[in-house]
Amino acid sequence: MKKRIVAVLVVVIALASVGFWLFKTGRIGRKPPPSNELTLYGNVDIRQVELGFRIAGQIKSMQLEEGQPVKAGAVMAELDTRALEDQLHAAQAQVAAQDANLKKLLTGSRPAEIARARAAVDEATAAQENARTELDRTERLVKEKALAQANLDTATAISRQADARLASANESLRLFVQGSRIEDISAARAQLQLAQANVASVETSLDDAKLVAPSDGVVISRVKEPGAIVSPNDIVYVVSLTHSVWVRAYVSETQLGRVHPGIAASVITDAAPAHPFKAHVGYISPTAEFTPKSVETPELRTDLVYRMRIIVDDADEGLRQGMPVTIKIDTSGG
């Protein structure tokens, strides 16, 4: 009797063990996945950006350490700008000088300058009249043999000089009245624009002396330190961008017709399988390639696949660079 009871207990225990194993492995107690659900495997692919200054200089300060978050537009580092500030002052002074020169040409001659030119004309006119009177008197005396021919020659030369001085005074007066030439004004205006462009260039360099975060992210590498001399090609920070986060996956040629850009998806991590991330298919490569060795798929690795980009809509710190994930796509709507 006891042997029969023991045998029954052994059978019951064996059946219970088999049932528990079937439950744990999903053979019973769980519904099989729907046939319209496509399962893919991939890795998180967060973008990284290498940041540096656009100009050369000496680093004055660096505000962030590795692992710290950064917001878009935040100043991450600055260069010493004393030399640039001196250049800006010199360029601004040049603008002021060219602006004053242009205004002078546009204003033209002052009334006092015109009055002085008129006085010079009057003086030259009087001198001319006096020279002509003296010439007439000398000619008469020479004809009367009262003076030598040399006196007539001297009076003639003095009269011609007076005529030339009067012509010069009249031209000077005309130039003062007309004002500056259009060509001179255009040249002065161009010089002013050149000086203003130099100011803008120095101001741009001053803006470039600040290293600004292009978008939200996390500092993953601080390459330089304050005091270092950097050139435009040097990397100062490496930042992992927070948005957008996507998953790189591959779909086989036989499954390609079941997915399309925009279709909804879920991204599941091994760390939190009960909390999937909402996502959607953002890109499907138009060309096929061989399955990478790092991707696990049920198909043979020699099969051709198409690269996909699944964009995560509600990504958080639970997704890390290179993390393996599982992608579930409901293709019933596709």
Say whether both 114 and 194 belong to one domain.
yes
- State the residue range of the domain holding 259: 35-45+244-333
Q: Give the mean pLDDT of 143-168.
A: 81
Say whether both 71 and 93 belong to one domain.
no
Reported for 271-279, long-range contacts at CB under 8 A and 24+ positions apart, including other chains, are 271/318, 272/318, 275/318, 276/328, 277/312, 277/313, 277/314, 277/315, 277/318, 277/319, 278/312, 278/313, 278/314, 279/247, 279/310, 279/311, 279/312, 279/313, 279/327
Evaluate whether 192 touches 206 at the Cβ level (below 8 Å): no
Say whether both 93 and 140 belong to one domain.
yes
Say whether both 24 and 75 belong to one domain.
no
Return the pLDDT at 159: 82
Say whether both 57 and 72 belong to one domain.
yes
User: Residue 325 in 3-state DSSP?
Assistant: strand
Give the pLDDT band (50/70/90) at residue 162: confident
Q: How far apart are CA 136 and CA 130, in angstroms?
A: 10
Return the pLDDT at 191: 93
Q: Name which of 175, 178, 172 is nearest 120 in CA terms.
A: 172
Bridge-based pairing of strands 229-230 and 57-62 is antiparallel
Return the pLDDT at 301: 45
Say whether both 265 and 219 belong to one domain.
no
Reduce the secondary structure of 230-259 to three states and give it as a string. ECCCCCCEEEEEEEEEEEEEEEEHHHHHHC
Say whether both 312 and 323 belong to one domain.
yes
Q: Give the mean pLDDT of 135-153.
A: 78
Return the pLDDT at 179: 63
Say whether both 96 and 181 belong to one domain.
yes
Q: Give the mean pLDDT of 199-208.
A: 95
Reported for 125-133, long-range contacts at CB under 8 A and 24+ positions apart, including other chains, are 125/166, 127/162, 127/165, 127/166, 128/159, 128/162, 128/163, 128/165, 128/166, 130/162, 131/155, 131/158, 131/159, 131/161, 131/162, 131/163, 132/159, 132/162
154 CB-side CA count, 13 A: 9
Give the pLDDT band (50/70/90) at residue 106: confident
Whether 324 shows a pLDDT value over 50: the answer reads yes
Return the pLDDT at 233: 86
Cis preceding-peptide flag for 159 (omega within 30 of 0): no
Q: How far apart are CA 60 and CA 41, in angstroms?
A: 46
Give the pLDDT band (50/70/90) at residue 302: very low
Mean pLDDT, the chain, rounded, equals: 82
Return the pLDDT at 7: 56
Count of Cβ atoms closer than 10 Å to residue 58 Cβ? 14
Whether 206 shows a pLDDT value over 90: the answer reads yes
Say whether both 25 and 74 belong to one domain.
no
Domain CATH number, residue 325 = 2.40.30.170
Return the pLDDT at 120: 81
Say whether both 168 and 121 belong to one domain.
yes
pLDDT digits (tens, 9 = 90+) for 268-299: 988 888 889 999 998 888 887 766 555 555 54
Range in 3-7, 63-67, 193-197, 218-222 the model is least confident about: 3-7
Q: Give the mean pLDDT of 49-70.
A: 94
Higher pLDDT, residue 106 or 27: 106
Say whether both 158 and 17 belong to one domain.
no
Using CA atoms, how far residue 231 sits from 58, 76, 210, in Å, is 9, 17, 14
Say whether both 97 and 191 belong to one domain.
yes
User: Residue 10 in 3-state DSSP?
Assistant: helix
Whether 161 shows a pLDDT value over 50: the answer reads yes
Whether 86 shows a pLDDT value over 90: the answer reads yes
For 101, counting Cβ atoms within 10 Å of its Cβ (0-12 exposed, 13-18 middle, 19+ buried), the class is middle
Q: What's the structural domain count of the chain?
A: 4
